């Protein structure tokens, strides 16, 4: 059956796809369960018990819509960050916020600058709103700040996306370089500074909150999906000037947040001891992944995130074969970057020791089976 004939020309021209194939879809396709879910950069360590308690208590009020102004969460974040609540916008994860940002800024055909191979969901939103994606190659497995700046100027682009730390490579820039990049941009260009992995970044990588607090052309996006273990709850927020933050009210889904997720996020901010515990577990798991792959002749790249990019030393065909065989033969779900030269790598998320044991047992068998590839 053909599609509905009254879709807009833009919608009709787009493919029906999703930026990522989820582990649930892979389970359905392959007919076997995922035994180690270490591919989607979730937190296998889970949220704090205090968070689960708060969400369970909030479930009794789930018949009510969430506060459309997200007042309590904004106040909690303001205290946590040391900024004013007026500098914050709340959304259903960073993915939702990215779509709203593109909608606010991009007219059909307008240039949007990003790195070639960077977070594909952002590209998905650009295409969905009719923007023209302009990409800059990575340089040394890091996003190329000079290249991004040059492309913004060349295209007179109204929007540029940059993640620090980066997905999918786990690389990062120091705060001074990020600040210099933001200040060098034309005032007509809005910077989306994606800090989804900010909690796992090393000291000196994340600019202080006051670095951009008076720059209306910078939006910092953050999430509860990674270190806080709330990927399924979908809670994200944006930090900018009051005027830019308030602009989200023009187009956001005001009832998009749910009460249980909001209660969980507020509880997560309070439980600083649990966050410190998880950050230590993430760091230890990164080291464990590096050891496992090193023992098998692969190279773990330095990571500031809750995953590790692994240089397989060959091409995308070989990296894809590792990804596929780990799942098909051992039920281990991982992912890989999508474009060259990044796709010589695989990407493994941190997780509990039980997942690491499965990886440690499976990887040598997979590499041995692929020795003649």
DSSP of 246-276, one letter per residue?
HHGGGTS-TT-S-HHHHHHHHHHHH-HHHHH
Grade residue 6 by pLDDT with cuts at 50, 70 and 90: confident
**pLDDT higher than 90, residue 20:** no
Please write the tens of the pLDDT for every residue from 345-371.
Answer: 999 999 999 999 999 999 999 999 999
Residue 115's nearest CA partner among 167, 69, 78 is 167
Rounded mean pLDDT, 130-147 = 98
Specify the residue for token string 């909030």: 58
Calpha distance 308→39 (Å, rounded) = 10
Grade residue 1 by pLDDT with cuts at 50, 70 and 90: very low
Rounded mean pLDDT, 4-13 = 85
Q: Which residues contact 249 (CB under 8 A, 6 or more apart)?
A: 89
The predicted pLDDT at position 127 comes to: 95
Q: Is residue 343 classed as helix, strand or coil in its secondary structure?
A: helix
Rounded mean pLDDT, 90-111 = 97
**pLDDT higher than 70, residue 171:** yes
**pLDDT higher than 90, residue 21:** no
Domains defined for the chain, CATH in brackets: 18-46+273-369 (3.90.1150.10), 49-270 (3.40.640.10)
**pLDDT higher than 70, residue 233:** yes
**pLDDT higher than 50, residue 201:** yes
The predicted pLDDT at position 113 comes to: 98
The larger pLDDT score, comparing residue 15 to residue 135, is at: 135
**pLDDT higher than 80, residue 324:** yes
**pLDDT higher than 60, residue 202:** yes
Calpha distance 295→290 (Å, rounded) = 9
Rounded mean pLDDT, 182-199 = 98
Check: CB of residue 86 under 8 Å from CB of residue 119. Answer: no
Grade residue 112 by pLDDT with cuts at 50, 70 and 90: very high
The predicted pLDDT at position 3 comes to: 60
Residue 182's nearest CA partner among 204, 214, 229 is 214
Residue 219's nearest CA partner among 189, 193, 195, 196 is 193
Grade residue 30 by pLDDT with cuts at 50, 70 and 90: confident
pTM over 0.75, yes/no: yes
Tokens matching residue 158: 């109204």
């Amino acid at each position: 059956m053909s599609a509905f004939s009254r879709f807009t020309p833009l919608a009709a021209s787009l493919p029906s796809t999703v930026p990522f194939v989820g582990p649930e879809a892979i389970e359905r396709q392959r007919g076997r369960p995922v035994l180690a879910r270490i591919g989607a950069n979730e937190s296998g360590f889970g949220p704090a018990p205090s968070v689960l308690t708060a969400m369970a208590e909030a479930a009794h009020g789930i018949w009510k819509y969430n506060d459309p102004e997200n007042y309590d969460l904004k106040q909690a974040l303001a205290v946590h960050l040391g900024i004013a609540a007026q500098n914050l916008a709340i959304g259903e994860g960073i993915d939702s916020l990215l779509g709203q940002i593109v909608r606010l800024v991009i007219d059909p055909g307008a240039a949007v600058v990003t790195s070639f191979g960077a977070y594909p969901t952002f590209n998905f939103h650009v295409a969905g709103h009719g923007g023209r994606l302009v990409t800059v190659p990575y340089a040394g497995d890091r996003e190329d700040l000079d290249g991004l700046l040059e492309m913004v100027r060349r295209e007179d682009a109204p929007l540029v996306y940059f993640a620090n730390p980066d997905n999918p490579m786990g690389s990062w820039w120091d705060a001074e370089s990020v600040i210099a990049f933001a200040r060098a941009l034309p005032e007509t260009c809005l910077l989306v500074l994606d800090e989804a992995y900010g909690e796992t970044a090393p000291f000196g990588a994340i600019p202080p909150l006051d670095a951009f607090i008076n720059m209306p052309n910078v939006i910092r996006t953050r999430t509860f999906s990674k270190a806080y273990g709330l990927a399924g709850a979908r809670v994200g927020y944006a930090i900018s000037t009051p005027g830019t933050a308030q602009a989200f009210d023009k187009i956001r889904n005001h009832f998009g947040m749910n009460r249980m997720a909001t209660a969980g996020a507020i509880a997560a901010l309070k439980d600083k001891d649990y966050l410190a515990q998880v950050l230590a577990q993430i760091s230890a798991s990164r080291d464990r992944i590096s050891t496992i792959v090193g023992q098998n002749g692969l190279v773990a790249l330095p990571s500031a995130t809750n995953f590790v990019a692994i240089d397989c030393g060959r091409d995308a065909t070989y990296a894809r074969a590792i990804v596929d065989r780990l799942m098909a033969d051992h039920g281990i779900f991982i992912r890989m970057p999508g474009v060259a030269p990044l796709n010589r790598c695989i990407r493994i998320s941190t997780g509990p020791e039980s997942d690491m044991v499965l990886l440690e047992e499976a990887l040598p068998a997979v590499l041995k089976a692929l020795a003649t590839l």
